[in-house]
Structure 1
Amino acid sequence: MTDSTKWANTEDGSFKRQVSSFRDTISSSHAIFKPAKNRYWLYVSLACPWAHRTLITRALKGLTSVIGVSVVHWNMDTKGWRFLPYEENAGSGESSKSNGPFGYTGIPCSPNSGPTAGIANDSTRVGVDGTIEHNYHYKRISDLYYKANPDYNARFTVPVLWDLETETIVNNESSEIIRIFNSGVFDEFADQQVRRIDLLPKDLEPKIDEINSWVYNSINNGVYKTGFAESQQVYEKEVVNVFEHLQKLEHMLQVNYDSAVSKYGEKEAVSKLFLLNEQLTEADLRLYPTIVRFDPVYVQHFKCNLSTIRDGFKMIDLWLRNLYWNIDAFRETTSFEHIKLHYTRSHPRINPLGITPLGPIPAILPL
């Protein structure tokens, strides 16, 4: 399948996600993929929640000068993800591999996306709509997949973790990429100014895995199963399931918040509000990209409109704002413009006129 705007649905109208194809790792004992600075490259979409988690991890682990990044255009057309044209942008500074905090000329990430009436789907604003493909000057993500495997015949997804030495894909499964980044294999090259953080402490790993399992199935992927449902019966089942599990999260965070208030007082409790043990873990990281997109796109675009997060889930909203406003890696990798433009312009079956709603304003509330 070469049409990346398609999704796989079963006969009853249920959405089924494609399984990732490249599942290797990086380690000093690996026969091929060994840790090194400037050997690996990350290809992402700022709109995609799966890619977003890899960008956040890369920043949290101090790897922005170790692993480069190229960003696809927010509009996914019938041929899939594309980059800005190299020929038009080669002399603009955009060809540099080291500009900006994420290895590219900074894409504005702000709590407001603004009007989009003058932005065309083929817009090529340098450092705003995306970047060029820095390494081979390819036009599309699909070119990378075919370079890695000429016989590749599935969807061309992001993120992609690429090895510049062997010129192939190491991994395209986001949950595994973030564990590679967190594993410590790049620590000797990492920015020493970034505070050391372990997102997967051994003592919490079983609990993190347990939370990740139901969050993925019922929330991360649940919003997609809701939005891409092709029957009323399937839609209603999936949307109810999403909100039941949001309520489960709300209860967890309420317990954690009450505990933090009793220990630190209300003023300090917000900064301690995480899913586990008053510390940031992979469980928070994997939940955040879905929740930060919920009110701006999933409520209307995927019909997850039983409630907004800000109006119906006080603790989840407080948790979200704590991550966004208090931890730079979350805020600085969140582009509401890419998020809103991608979903509303790239799914013509859901939104055939491609109209992008102005709200909510602001896309995230102040803390």
Structure 2
Amino acid sequence: MSQDSAGSPPATTASMNSTDGTFARTDAHTTRGAYVTGGAEFNRDTNYIEDRITRDGRPGDSGEPGWPVEAGRYRLIAARACPWANRTVIVRRLLGLEEAISLGQPGPTHDVRSWTFDLDPGGVDPVLGIERIQSAYLRRFPGYPRGITVPAIVDVPSGEVVTNNFPQITLDFATEWTQFHRPGAPDLYPVHLRQEIDAVNKRVFTEVNNGVYRCGFAGSQEAYNSAYTRLWTALDWLEERLAVQRYLVGDTITEADVRLFTTLARFDAVYHGHFKCNRQKLSELPALWGYARDLFQTPGFGDTIDFVQIKQHYYIVHEDINPTRIVPQGPDLAGWLEPHGRESLGGRPFGDGTPPGPVRAGEGVSPGHGADTASESAF
């Protein structure tokens, strides 16, 4: 099974070895990876490193090592282009964990080995001192056989990867790191709503977050047709649900909204055309488009979205889908800042809490890369 590249190179032997047995690259971002298996439905490899960082550093249920919550000890590696990594950046910002957990951001593309720190001076992460996240995986697991994915959390003192289990990372940020939450941090995983959040998240993951990849990486017309039908059945369900309530679960922003948002933010720019999810654009779905704009204009969401890096990633890395590697100019992004009118449905974005403050220095989206007619006051 292969991983999607928005998170990792393909999880095949090419993740560790290129086709000619060397790691030589003919340009800055040679991928030489394939994401489509002829005739087959896309199946995501969800076997992640399941270690957790917890308040008491307890071992995992299956014997995984325990890692204690400790401010300044861990570094979150999260590429802006990747929707799974984007979730962790949003939650870290909403909860105010910037001082407790540092952030490293690889560039938008990767080769068959792993994501690289192209955007840092000298192409080296300034805290970990490595050129690619692969080094942290191999330091802990020599010969690591799976995809080298982001997001990943690295133990800074040892330089070893701790976990890349992205669904659990954000839940643990919300529930295990509470002593380091900012004053006014929202409750993204409230106890009384967890059962409903989990149910919604399960359907959103299988049918929408992963559903766009099943369309894009389908290996046959039959596999694509099935994936397309499943995706749009779920999007129609969400359109109906969000026509009568402002947020996915309850009357405040929760983990469920974060997980859906990062797919919606990429829909018109990438998934509609590149992944052939083209029954309608997001901007043609009134409830979902209003909901996405509402979140985009909420501090902590839109200020993490880099549309340029998102497009560069998908259109450059997926050479078997887009062999020319031409990155499209569109779509027009101005609509993201238009009034959404969702306030009429009620709801309180942060519940009894408050919005996060300004983006931390050095972590903002580059000028020209966001919904670019956006002024700083929009966030």
Task: Tell whether the structures are fold-level matches, with TM greater than 0.5.
Answer: yes
Q: 2:190 pairs with 201, 206, 209, which one?
A: 201
- 2:287 maps to 1:315: yes
- 2:19 aligns with none
Match of 1:25 among 32, 41, 52: 52
Partner of 1:225: 214
Higher RCO (CA 8 Å, separation ≥ 6 residues): 1
**Contact 1:296–1:363 at 8 Å: present in 2 too?**
no
Q: Equivalent residue for 1:72?
A: 106
Task: Specify the alignment match of 2:304 in structure 1.
Answer: 333
Q: What are structure 2's unaligned runs of at least 5 residues? A: 1-11, 16-30, 59-65, 340-379
| Among candidates 129, 144, 147, match of residue 139 of structure 2 | 147
Say which structure is richer in helix: 1
Q: Which residue number corresponds to residue 170 of structure 2?
A: 178
Q: Distance in 1 between matches of 2:323 and 2:335?
A: 27
Whether contact under 8 Å (2:34, 2:319) holds in the other structure is no
SS in 1 for 2:40: coil
Q: Which residue of 1 aligns with 2:277?
A: 304
* Matched letter for residue 85 of structure 2: A
TM-score, normalising length: structure 2: 0.76
Q: How many residues align?
A: 304
1:93-138: CA deviation from partner (whole Å, max 9, x where unpaired): xxxxxxxxxxxxxxxxxxxxxxxxxxxxxxxxxxxxxx74123321
**Residue type of the alignment partner of 2:289:** D
Runs of 5+ in structure 1 lacking a partner? Answer: 91-130, 257-272
Contact in 2 for aligned 1:44/1:71 (Cα 8 Å)? yes
CA RMSD across the alignment: 1.9
The yes-or-no answer on 1:135 pairing with 2:135 is: no
Q: Would the alpha carbon gap of residues 166 and 76 (structure 1) be closer, same or farther in structure 2, given more than 3 Å must change?
A: closer
Cα drift, residue 2 of structure 1? 4.9
| Aligned equivalents of 2:55, 2:279: Cα separation in 1 | 49
Q: Secondary structure at the match of 2:243?
A: helix
Distance 2:14 2:78 in 1: 18
Distance 1:133 1:282, change over 3 A: same
One-letter amino acid matched to 1:26: I
TM-score of the aligned structures, taking structure 1 as reference length: 0.79
Q: Which residue pairs with 2:313 in the alignment?
A: 342
1:10/1:16 contact within 8 Å kept: no
Give identity over the alignment, percent.
Answer: 33
Residues of 2 paired with 1:55 and 1:310: CA distance? 25
Counterpart in 2 of 1:14? 41
Which amino acid in 2 is paired with 1:13? A
Where 1:278 maps in the other structure, the secondary structure is coil
- Residues 219-271 of structure 1 show CA distances to partners (whole Å, capped at 9, x for unaligned) of 00000010000111111111121111100000001122xxxxxxxxxxxxxxx
CA distance in 2, matches of 1:27, 1:173: 14
Letter in 2 for 1:186: W
